[in-house]
Structure 1
Amino acid sequence: MEWKFSLGQRIRTGVALLVVFLLVLATNMMDSNHFRIVQSNLTTIYEDRLLAKDYLYKISRQIQVKRELIQRSDIEQWSDLNTALNDSIQTLNDRFASTQLTENEALVFESLKRNIRSLREYELKLQRNDPLNTELTTSGSERYFTAVYDDLDALFKIQLEESDKVISNANRAIDTSNLISRIEIGVLIAIGLLIQLLVFMRPLK
């Protein structure tokens, strides 16, 4: 059986197919954009939050070693290890600085670096005392360690808050993409029915 379409039917069919094509193209572009958002957020969580948190944890462990050695007044072991500890902390600071920092995070990080420098200056004073003065090391150094730990705690808190924000953004992008996909299916079904009507509808005389 040969199907014969009038000129009007052909035009309506072409317009309907063009609408379908543009709809699919538009939704595909939106889906691609949402995919990029999710991909970017996943990268941010790993590189700027998980790795950053690992750097902060390692810095806190190095600071704790310093604190324990000073509290034990073990001048010989402390002097031997302190240079290596300082180098390790500096490397970790540089790695943390290479991550994407928020404005508040950058301010707290600058405070952390200042307090670490103050701690090192205090340590240089301790190195000139042999043997270490117990009262000087246990009470005098404590305020430097407290300041460093306060900054580290603040940075840890920022990591959690920013991770929650990034995950929320990714979830919103996924939810939006799912919603658009459902709407797209509904619209395509409606357009398919409309095409049937347009193509096979007899023109009014």
Structure 2
Amino acid sequence: MNTKLTLKQRILIGFVLALAFFLVLGSNLVDRRHFSTIQKTIESIHDDRVVVQDYIYQLRNFLHDREVEVLETGNIEKNNEHFGQITAILDDFAATDLIREEAAFLKRLRQQFYGPSGLSSVYGKGDKSKILEHIHSTKKTLDALEEIQIEESGHLTRISEKSLSVNRMLSNLEIGFMIIIGLSILMLVFQPIKTLYPIH
């Protein structure tokens, strides 16, 4: 066995080691990008979908309470404190990352609560049927917004799953390449290839 490395062997080993280094570096950069995507989608699922579901739930509760109040007690007096809470919820909702369709529904929701003929204006004017009609149409808008949350949560989950599967595939490829590179170095050191030596 020839234990002394020739210049060509050293160059090849250096090349293989450099290749291994760039492979690990490139893989690390790709991994970081995928992990960043996963982190962003998880944060978005929580901040822009789960939290928004709670806003929708609070708005639905408010409408349900007003509906029961009108039907059972006949009370149509406007409670400014309640409507003030709705404003805060709608403002928090607007501060989330909205898709175009969602922004359009949120704009409609504001109109249904605070527009010239919205629920806030109709209250206290003595027309129960009009109040109930407004509550019913506002609930439909909330249904549409709730559907968007479900669709977008699914979309973000699929993005995360895709990034994870690409990450797993790249990790397996990286392990395979590292094994091949390791074996190549061993072969160069302990089994010199004839073509590495100059022909006399």
TM-score, with structure 1 as normaliser? 0.87
Pick one of 78, 82, 90 that aligns with 2:79. Answer: 82
| Conserved 8 A contact 1:66-1:82 | no
The within-5 A match list for 1:8-23 is 8-23=8-23
Tell me which residue corresponds to 1:116.
Answer: 113
Pick one of 81, 87, 92 that aligns with 1:95. Answer: 92
Q: Distance in 2 between matches of 1:33 and 1:190?
A: 26
For structure 2, list consecutive stretches of 5 or more residues without a partner in the other structure.
none
Q: Which runs of 4+ in 1 moved over 3 A?
A: none
Q: Distance in 2 between matches of 1:63 and 1:12?
A: 74
Q: Aligned partner of 1:201: which letter?
A: P
Q: Distance in 2 between matches of 1:73 and 1:193?
A: 83
| Conserved 8 A contact 1:9-1:198 | yes
For structure 1, list consecutive stretches of 5 or more residues without a partner in the other structure.
127-135
The within-5 A match list for 1:1-205 is 3-75=3-75, 79=77, 82-117=79-114, 118-126=118-126, 136-137=127-128, 139-199=129-189, 200-202=191-193, 203-204=196-197, 205=199
Secondary structure of the residue aligned to 1:125 is coil
Alpha-carbon shift at residue 3 of structure 1 (Å): 4.2
Q: Distance in 1 between matches of 2:8 and 2:93?
A: 67
Q: Distance in 1 between matches of 2:4 and 2:124?
A: 96
Q: Distance in 2 between matches of 1:201 and 1:24?
A: 26
Q: How many residues align?
A: 192
Alpha-carbon shift at residue 124 of structure 1 (Å): 3.9
Q: Distance in 2 between matches of 1:64 and 1:156?
A: 16
Secondary structure of the residue aligned to 1:72 is helix
State percent identity of aligned pairs.
Answer: 29
Q: Deviations over 1:26-57 (max 9, x none)?
A: 00111111111111111001100000000110
